[in-house]
Amino acid sequence: MKILAIHNFHRSGSASGDDQVFKSETALLEAHGNDIIRYTVSNDDFDNSGVFGKIGSVFGMLWSNKNYKAVLRIIREQKPDVVHVHTFFPLLSPSILYAAKKCNVPVVATLHDTRFVCPCATSLRGNELCNECGDGHYLRMCKYGCFKGSKLQSFIVACIFKYHRKRRSFYNQIDKYICLNDNQIKLLENIGFDRTKIVKKYNFVSDVDANISNIDIEGLPERYVVYYGRIGEEKGIRFLMNAWDEVNIPLVVMGGGPLEDDFKQWSDSNSSVFFLGYTEHSKCLSIVRGSDFVVFPSIWYEGCSMVEIETMSLGKSIIATDLGFSEEAIIDNYNGKKFSLGDKKGFIDCVNFLWNNHSLLNEMGINARCEYEKKYAPEENYNELITIYNELL
């Protein structure tokens, strides 16, 4: 099968989950003999452009004629069976969807976030969950400065999504939506998306446990808990800092992000916290494998967290917020523990409970590995993806 895979990469070094999924999924398809045509852009392109280039890119968020023509040309020359779109915002724009439909090629879109409900993609207003813009009244974004804290940028994004909602671009130009969890499906149904066009498929990771080697890390305690991932608001970093002030258990943290400086300043004053910053992936996973368990206090709707499924592949249990993907992926006292959003006491109780119950912790780690093998391994994922494509042909 010939597949045109389209994606807007984040900035270099962001280690974003959708970037990782695009790379691993296209590689998996190729490994099974499919012909993959990749069409990608990167937000680095915007950063490296001049003033006029940046102005052009801003207007291009509404309709990128450049990407429309490029996708149209590729389809006419290469004649793919399916177009699979991952992230289209901000640089690709919805114009690529129209290019595919003009050529009568079926379009599959993986929804890595809640962009079709919330133009900011996070369903967050500050630190609070918010899905109000699902009603299409996007201009309320300006009042709160939802997009990057800027009322002007929020106005631009609101106008873009208002235009495409009026044209029903996301309803009519996509033949199949791949959602990553049940919560995404509910959110789409609530704003009028056709349930018959929606399918759920989890992300996957390769068998990390089989492919990672042990690395000796000096300076770490014999026993420890791990957080790894983006050091950002949506990941619950401020919540983690606040809660760990009341926890006397070693915590190893790996990752980078906008709150990195604040986190380092806090960790330097907390003797039980070991902040390693950005850590090379194989080394990071080796440290995770040596941990007792992983904490994942995200405050937004995770799609299908690569951190969580990597952790399960390593046979480690997880403490996670009862929200989004975690709501269905983590089963209390089976492969981890869940706590309610914002419930600091509940989170601390979970941490202390697992730390002090070694036999249960080992059992939950075995169960976590079983969950990985059943739901998040490559082969089953490939079969699901090909089935989705075939149903459109």
Residue 15 scores a pLDDT above 80: no
Give residue 13's pLDDT: 62
Structure tokens at 359: 């036999």
- pTM to 2 decimal places: 0.93
Distance CA 88, CA 94 (A): 7
Distance CA 235, CA 102 (A): 39
Distance CA 186, CA 199 (A): 12
Give residue 14's pLDDT: 64
Spatial CB neighbours of 358, under 8 Å, sequence gap ≥ 6: none
Give residue 56's pLDDT: 79
Closest CA to 233 of 305, 150, 148: 148
268 vs 53 pLDDT, higher one:
268
Give residue 128's pLDDT: 92
Contact 139, 155 (CB under 8 A): yes
Report residue 49's pLDDT band, with 50, 70 and 90 as the boundaries: confident
Q: What is the DSSP string of 135-185?
A: GS-TTHHHHHTTTTT-HHHHHHHHHHHHHHHHTTHHHHS-SEEEESSHHHH
Residue 166 scores a pLDDT above 80: yes
Spatial CB neighbours of 309, under 8 Å, sequence gap ≥ 6: 202, 203, 204, 205, 329, 372, 376
Name the helix (H) or strand (E) containing 38.
Answer: strand 35-42
Spatial CB neighbours of 100, under 8 Å, sequence gap ≥ 6: 4, 71, 75, 83, 106, 107, 173
Closest CA to 46 of 76, 12, 84, 15: 12
Contact 134, 191 (CB under 8 A): yes
Residue 214 scores a pLDDT above 80: no
Structure tokens at 73: 């040309």
Q: What is the pLDDT averaged over residues 373-384?
A: 96
Q: What is the pLDDT averaged over residues 117-138?
A: 94
Give the CA distances from residue 244 to residues 38, 113, 195, 281, in Å, rounded to whole numbers and listed in that order. Answer: 43, 28, 42, 25
Give residue 44's pLDDT: 86
Give residue 50's pLDDT: 81
Distance CA 35, CA 32 (A): 9
Taking only the tens place, the pLDDT of each residue in 352-368 is: 999 999 899 999 999 99
Structure tokens at 266: 């806090």
Distance CA 333, CA 246 (A): 23
Structure tokens at 102: 């003009």
Residue 218 scores a pLDDT above 90: no
Structure tokens at 16: 């974003």
Report residue 386's pLDDT band, with 50, 70 and 90 as the boundaries: very high
CA atoms within 13 A on the CB side of 150: 8
Residue 171 scores a pLDDT above 90: yes
Q: How many CB atoms are closer than 10 A to CB 94?
A: 25
Q: What is the pLDDT averaged over residues 275-285?
A: 93
Report residue 209's pLDDT band, with 50, 70 and 90 as the boundaries: low
Domains located in the chain, CATH noted: 2-112+175-204+378-392 (3.40.50.2000), 121-166 (no CATH), 208-375 (3.40.50.2000)
Query: What share of the chain in percent tops pLDDT 70?
Result: 98
Structure tokens at 243: 């809660």
Contact 367, 193 (CB under 8 A): no
Give residue 387's pLDDT: 98
Contact 88, 119 (CB under 8 A): no
Taking only the tens place, the pLDDT of each residue in 74-125 is: 999 999 999 999 999 999 999 999 999 999 999 999 999 999 999 999 999 9
Q: What is the pLDDT averaged over residues 320-340?
A: 97
Residue 306 scores a pLDDT above 80: yes
Distance CA 135, CA 45 (A): 33
Give residue 163's pLDDT: 96
